[in-house]
Amino acid sequence: MTIAKQRVAIVTGASRNIGRSISQALALGGCAVVCLGRDSAALNETAALINLAGGQASVFIGDAASNANLKSAVAHAVKTFGGLDVVVNNAGMLRNDPAEEITPEEFAADLQVNLVAQYALAHYAHPELKKRGGGVIINIGSIAGQMAFPNCPSYVASKAGIEGLTRSLAQDWARDNIRVVCVAPGYVESEISREVLANTTTAEMIKKRIPMRRVAKPDEIGAFVAFFASNAAGFCTGEVYYIDGGQRMAF
Where do the domains of the chain lie? Answer: 7-243
Model confidence pLDDT, tens digit, residues 31-88 = 999 999 999 999 999 999 999 999 999 999 999 999 999 999 999 999 999 999 999 9
32, 138, 143 from 121: Cα distances, Å? 18, 11, 22
Distance CA 228, CA 208 (A): 29
- Catalytic site includes residue 155: yes
The verdict on domain 7-243 having CATH code 3.40.50.720 is yes
Flag whether pLDDT at 224 surpasses 80. Answer: yes
Q: How many CB atoms lie within 10 A of CB 160?
A: 18
Q: How confident is the model at residue 247 (pLDDT cuts 50, 70, 90)?
A: confident
Q: Which of 119, 155, 187, 242 is catalytic?
A: 155
How far CA 110 is from CA of 31, 94, 105, 202, in Å, comes to 30, 8, 9, 25
pTM of the full structure: 0.94
Distance CA 121, CA 42 (A): 22
CA distances from 204 to 18, 195, 208, 243 (A): 22, 14, 6, 19
